[in-house]
Amino acid sequence: MDMICQLNKLKPPKFQGGLDPLRYEEWMRRLETLFEIIECPDRYKVALATYQFDGKVEYWWGTVKPREGEDPITWERLKELIDNRYYPRDVRRMKERKFVRFESTQTQEGVNCVSKFSAVS
């Protein structure tokens, strides 16, 4: 009960699911940050995260959560399930490629600046 009080004081965002992977990514990043702040043990993270579910994602959770007598879902497994549902692999790959291209462009621009500076010096 203490963990949920600590988390609620920090006003964690609700997650409603949907088709926007960026909303999911922002929600997960914010939740992970809050877990770090309150030093939340992994054993509480699933309950605290799913408590933030609302709307369609809450119904989805009802279909995938373990039933009585089944092994509990770990935090890593929950993240995997949510990723698969709300952050499609093709969107993730496209974002990774875009990041790599951006990083490559930034590196090349840095090399060009250094070269130009060295030539002037």
Residue 50: C-alpha distances to residues 14, 24, 57, 65, 115 (Å): 9, 13, 9, 10, 52
Tokens of 93: 């790959």
Delimit the domains of the chain by residue range. Answer: 2-87, 89-121
Q: How far apart are CA 43 and CA 9, in angstroms?
A: 20
**Amino acid residing at 22:** L
pLDDT reported for residue 35 = 97
Which is nearest to 78 in space by CA: 96, 57, 95? 57
Average pLDDT per consecutive 10 residues, the chain (121 residues; last block may be shorter) = 91 92 93 97 96 95 95 96 85 63 62 53 56
pLDDT reported for residue 19 = 83
